[in-house]
Amino acid sequence: MSIAIARPPLPSQDKRWKLVEATIRRHGYAGDALIEALHTVQECFGYLDEQALRYVAAALRQPLSKVFGVATFYHHFTLKPQGEHTCVICMGTACYIKGAPAIIAAIEEKHGVKPGQTTADRKLSVLTARCLGSCGLAPAVVFDGAVAGRIGQAEVLKRLETLLEAKKA
């Protein structure tokens, strides 16, 4: 006789939850799939909210405290929703000595946001990365997932302008 283990219901009708469940199922609902499951949630939803953490905890039968602990331990996971556009400035050694701090200062002056913050209109999130591994192209900045290398402050501000304009039109 097999005992059916109760699986928690999906938090909502949103189809993206099926992808999350698929990841968890692929790992046999085992506790060690926690990080993989959180990766899928963040890929699908952009960030981890309380509902997601509770669902993942229930599905993997892990204490919520552990799930919260893991979600906040790793830099890659974010508990806050991101803006429409993201701009990630690499702060690796090579980028640092080639002028990444000046880029951050320029963005802060123009758009009024520090790394880790999102503009009030939720259009732009500014983030920093530890190292993108594009050191040969330092300084590197990632605009909405596309890496741009050997980029100066002026060029960064111009690219941001275009990015923000594009959505308005």
Partner 1 sequence: MTPEELSKIVTIEQDTQRQYKHCVRVCVAAGCISSRSDEVQQALEQEAARLGIDKACQVKGVGCMGLCAAGPLVTVDGEKTMYRQVKPEDAGEILASLDGEPVKRLACPTDVPFFTRQRKIVLENSGAIDPERIEEYIAADGYSALLDALTTMTPPAVIDTITRSGLRGRGGAGFPTGLKWSTVAKAGGGGQKYVICNADEGDPGAFMDRSVLESDPHRVLEGMAIAAYAVGANKGYIYVRAEYPLAVKRLKTAIRQAERLGLLGSNIFGTTFSFTAEIRLGAGAFVCGEETALIASVEGKRGTPRPRPPYPAESGLDGRPTLINNVETFANVPTILRKGAEWFAAIGTEKSKGTKVFALAGSVANTGLIEVPMGITLREIIYEIGGGIPDGKKFKALQTGGPSGGCIPAQHLDMPVDYDSLAKVGSIMGSGGMIIMDESSCMVDVAKFFMEFCRTESCGKCVPCRVGTAQMHDLLCKITDGRAGMADLQLLEELSDLLKSASLCGLGQTAPNPVLTTLRYFKDEYLAHINEQRCIAGACAHPKQAEVEAAV
Q: Name the residues that contact partner 1, by CB under 8 A.
A: 31-36, 38-39, 66, 69-70, 73-77, 91-94, 96-98, 129-138, 140, 146-149
Nearer CB in complex with partner 1: 78/119 = 78
Tokens of 50: 């309380």
Give the β-pairing of 124-129 and 85-90: parallel
Nearer CB in complex with partner 1: 119/128 = 128
Side-chain half-sphere exposure of 126, counting CA atoms within 13 A? 21
Give the largest Cα separation in the chain, rounded: 69
CA separation for the pair 156, 163 (Å, rounded): 10
Nearer CB in complex with partner 1: 44/148 = 148
Least gap, CB of 124 to partner 1 (angstroms): 21
Q: In what order do the strands lie in the sheet with 124-129?
A: 124-129, 85-90, 141-143, 146-148
Least gap, CB of 163 to partner 1 (angstroms): 16
Least gap, CB of 97 to partner 1 (angstroms): 5
CA separation for the pair 81, 134 (Å, rounded): 26
Nearer CB in complex with partner 1: 31/112 = 31
Least gap, CB of 107 to partner 1 (angstroms): 19
